[in-house]
Amino acid sequence: MRTYDPAGRAVGRRPVGVTVVLAVLTALLVALVPGALLAGGASASTAPPADGQRPLWVMPDSGDPLAAFDRNDYNEQDGTPRVVPSPSGSGQQALEFSLDGGGERSEVQPRIPMQREGDVQYYSYSAVLADDFPTDVTTWQLLLQWHHFGDSGSPPVAVEVRDNRLMLSAEGEDRQDLGPVRGGDRIDLTMRIAFSRDSDRGTVDVWRDGDRVLRGYKPPGGTLLDQSDYMKLGLYRDESIDEPARLVLEDLRIGPSLASVRSQESGSSAIAEDDAPSSTSGGSDDGTLSTASWVAGGLLVLVVILAGAALRNRRVHR
């Protein structure tokens, strides 16, 4: 049935269904598009730091750094770390670990949660070896380890010095070369570890002095051997080593992303963001933004099509 305006001209009427659909789609666009734009703006440098950019743990550089670590007689059975001035001359506090010849263990544990299945963690580590540090030993000598809870066996992930090389080892074997090392060197490492008992999902990435030296390494037994790992650092080595060893830990940072562990005093500041894998195995905010953009674009196309159909329908009813 036609309707007419006061001048006697026929006036077309859009079907109610089309009008309702257009109204709903327009409302969705109004809701989605500003959100997508705001999400894009959040990635700009002016946005406030996200939780993923905050460190989980940072070694204090003043006061008593040892207060931030868990300690026990077992880990310090052959040497107690002591607070010393940083070798860099910055005036900050550092930790010195030392062992006499035949000594086995002088370690501490940063006070952080255990690493469990699916966790992804970044670490930056800076330490200086003493000039007479025995880098030429032919047996195990660990600086860092992520240990399982089993009573026996070597840790699934460890950093060691032997044969004048810095190496990453898995269960005491399958060593990955991280480059040469000698007494007096500064060890500057940034690491990413994805923790999993699945050897396809457990991975390790290592940067040394800001340069990528290990990419996506998958330990044969995974990066977890049981329910969780705990981190230890200092000196742990074969008792057959009869030379003394000493190192000074200057900085240690732990966090969920590369940004969270960056330090201007270390090579971590030179690593490009696009050189680091995603901080989580579940993707990033970019995927959410991309999905929202596609949905908004699809709705816009539908609005245009329905608007065109409504316009043609209006012309037919004139």
Task: Tell me what pLDDT residue 33 has.
Answer: 42
Q: Domain-by-domain residue ranges, the chain? A: 55-275
Tokens of 216: 């996506």
Q: List Cβ neighbours of 53 (8 Å cut-off, separation of 6 or more).
A: 257, 259, 260
**Across 276-281, average pLDDT:** 67
Tell me: pLDDT of 29 over 80.
Answer: no
Q: 3-state DSSP call for residue 142?
A: strand
Share of the chain above pLDDT 90, in %: 66
Tell me which amino acid residue 187 is.
I
pLDDT digits (tens, 9 = 90+) for 1-25: 544 445 555 444 444 454 544 454 4
pLDDT digits (tens, 9 = 90+) for 172-205: 999 999 999 999 999 999 999 999 999 999 999 9
pLDDT digits (tens, 9 = 90+) for 220-267: 999 999 999 999 999 999 999 999 999 999 999 999 999 999 999 899
- Cβ neighbours around 83 below 10 Å, total: 15
Q: What is the pTM of this model?
A: 0.74
Tokens of 225: 């051997």
What is the torsion angle, in degrees rounded to the nearest 10, for the CA atoms of residue 154, residue 160, residue 163 and residue 164?
A: 180
Task: 280-289: list long-range contacts, CB under 8 Å, 24+ apart.
Answer: 280/120, 280/256, 281/118, 281/120, 281/194, 281/201, 285/39, 285/42, 285/43, 288/39, 289/36, 289/39, 289/40
Rounded CA gap, 90 and 22, in Å? 65
CATH class of 55-275: mainly beta
Tokens of 132: 């007479």
